A = this chain, B = another copy of it.
Amino acid sequence: IQILPLSFLSAADQAFVTLATTEDYCMGALVMGKSLRRHGTTRKIVVLISSSVSPEQLNSLHKRVFDEVVQVDVMDSMDRTHLSWLGRPELGVTLTKLQCWMLIKYKKCVFLDADTLVLQNVDDLFEREELSAAPDAGWPDCFNSGVFVFRPSLHTHSRLLAHAAHYGCFDGGDQGLLNSFFKDWAVKDISKHLPFVYNLSSSAIYTYLPAFQTFGHQAKIVHFLGAVKPWHLRYDQSNKDSYLDQFLNMWWAEYRSQMPPISGEVDGNQDSGDMLHVSMKPSRHLNINTETAEESLHHRRMWEKGHVDYMGKDSFENIKKKLDIFLD
Contact = CB atoms under 8 A, between A and B. Distances in A.
A202 to B, nearest CB: 13
B303 A204 contact: no
B135 A207 contact: no
A141 interface: yes
Contacts of A187: 190, 193, 195
Given A195-B186, A214-B170, A141 B135 contact: yes
A212 interface: yes
A138 interface: yes
Interface in A134-164: 134-142
Contacts of A320: 316
Contacts of A214: 170-171, 176
Q: How many identical chains are in the complex? A: 2
Interface of A: 134-142, 170-172, 176, 186-190, 193, 195-197, 204, 207-208, 210-215, 227, 300, 303-304, 306, 310, 316, 319-320, 323, 326-327
Contact of A190 (B134, B188, B303): B188
A207 B303 contact: no
B188 A139 contact: no
A228 to B, nearest CB: 11
A50 to B, nearest CB: 24
A314 to B, nearest CB: 9
Chain B CB within 10 Å — which of A137, A195, A197 has the most? A137
